[in-house]
Amino acid sequence: MSLSVTRRTRLSTAWLIVLVPIVLLLIAAPWWAGRADLRLMGEIALYMSLAVLWNLLAGYAGLVSVGQQAYVGFGGYLFFALTMLAGLHPYAALPLVVLAGFVISAPVAVLIFRLRGAYFAIGTWVVAEVFRLSFAQMASLGGGSGTSLSPDIVRSLAEGRDAREAVAWWLALGAGMLVIGTVVWLLRSRQGVALTAIRDNELAARSLGIDIWRTKFTVYVVVSGLTALIGALIFLQKLRISPDAAFSANDWTAFVIFIVVIGGIGTLEGPILGTLVFFALRETLADLGTLYLIALGVVAIVIMLFAPRGLWGFLRDRWGLELFPLSRRVSGLAKKEA
């Protein structure tokens, strides 16, 4: 009997073949999509990235943060500072934002990892508040009322409005692919094995010699750096930043958590599906305003109580679907003696 362990399913192979034309189609979007559609697609790509990142943190590493707006706002502000105050070209500023995200999140992790479980969650919120209040003190970035990106920086991206919209879209799409690629890569690496082990049984993982702290630390820092990048791109799209918008718990955490819970926490496909559902709902129900948020909250609670694996978990249990080749399957091991 020959055993082989594979991560690939037939469906995921087919999916990879479909993926290439889809990506090409998306790259070509500026030639077939209108300006408003392009903006919406950019927003979707960025939200999807935030959701995938938060899911890695909470769904895989068990680090339930309600303070990721700290890094969204940090990335946005740092991007404005690097371009407007330090005079860097936006393309040079973006990698620096990621780097700075890594650097700032490392000591934060050391500090708040001392809090366990739900207290960790509130600790992340405190950190986000500290970030918000600190940036509100910075007069050079407009203090409490914020500032706008100066026109020449906007112009340095590309000539003409259409070209700029296209560049913004490509940046968002590229960031989204970078995020998904990084997460897939991380989950398939040794860290991914460690993460799965920790998620399934923290005690057993520890006895196998897995350094739980370091694994979680790595995830936290990687996620935070990439979240900062997404933050930079969000405010590059918005062209205006203020402490309340940059560190909004509603926009960058509540929505993101709802997306992941509805889509299916702890799966890679869940947040992607969740983002599409979220935007479909938003585009149809947004006029309901507050009622829409209440409905989202209710749906998320109901899902958490009655279908905690979310929409994707439901589909997967029903049909055994899996798009990303992540879970390891053992084949060749015919039915084991019961």
Question: For 70, which DSSP code?
Answer: H
CA distance 246 to 235: 8
User: Closest CB to other proteins among 31 and 306?
Assistant: 306
Count of residues making up the chain: 338
User: Interface with other proteins includes 277 (CB under 8 A)?
Assistant: no
Total of chain residues touching other proteins, rule CB under 8 A: 43
User: Interface with other proteins includes 335 (CB under 8 A)?
Assistant: no
The interface region with other proteins, picked from 21-29, 83-91, 115-123, 227-235 by CB under 8 A, is 115-123
CB of 325 to other proteins, least distance (A): 25
Burial of 20 (0-12, 13-18, 19+ CB in 10 A): exposed
Residue 327 has, within 13 A of its CA and on its CB side, a CA count of 14
CA distance 262 to 12: 22
Q: Which of 46, 42, 61 is CA-nearest to residue 222?
A: 61
> Which of the residues 299 through 318 are near other proteins (CB under 8 A)?
300-301, 304-305, 308
Q: Which of 130, 245, 307, 321 binds other proteins (CB under 8 A)?
A: 130
User: Interface with other proteins includes 254 (CB under 8 A)?
Assistant: yes
Q: Which of 258, 278, 312, 324 binds other proteins (CB under 8 A)?
A: 258
CA distance 64 to 257: 10
Element (H, E) at 194: helix 190-200
CB of 146 to other proteins, least distance (A): 15
User: Interface with other proteins includes 327 (CB under 8 A)?
Assistant: no
Q: Which of 141, 198, 219, 257 binds other proteins (CB under 8 A)?
A: 257
The interface region with other proteins, picked from 20-28, 111-119, 234-242, 317-325 by CB under 8 A, is 111-119
Token pair in block for residue 328: 């390891």
User: Closest CB to other proteins among 143 and 174?
Assistant: 143
Q: Which of 47, 53, 44 is CA-nearest to residue 26?
A: 44
CB of 151 to other proteins, least distance (A): 30
User: Interface with other proteins includes 296 (CB under 8 A)?
Assistant: yes
User: Interface with other proteins includes 203 (CB under 8 A)?
Assistant: no
Q: Which of 253, 270, 202, 282 is CA-nearest to residue 71?
A: 253
> Which of the residues 49 through 78 are near other proteins (CB under 8 A)?
58, 62, 64, 66
Token pair in block for residue 203: 């005690």
CB of 198 to other proteins, least distance (A): 14
What Rg do the C-alpha atoms of the chain give, in angstroms?
Answer: 21
The interface region with other proteins, picked from 37-45, 118-126, 156-164, 168-176 by CB under 8 A, is 118-126
User: Interface with other proteins includes 117 (CB under 8 A)?
Assistant: yes
User: Interface with other proteins includes 126 (CB under 8 A)?
Assistant: yes
User: Closest CB to other proteins among 65 and 83?
Assistant: 65
Return all residues near 102 (Cβ < 8 A) that are at least 6 apart.
221, 222, 224, 225
CA distance 187 to 34: 36
User: Interface with other proteins includes 138 (CB under 8 A)?
Assistant: no
Say if CB 289 and CB 296 are below 8 A apart: no
For strand 240-241 and strand 4-6, is the pairing parallel, antiparallel, or unpaired?
Answer: unpaired
Site residues (vs other proteins, CB under 8 A): 58, 62, 64, 66, 111-112, 114-119, 121-123, 125-127, 129-130, 133-134, 136-137, 249-250, 254, 257-258, 261, 265, 290-291, 293-294, 296-298, 300-301, 304-305, 308
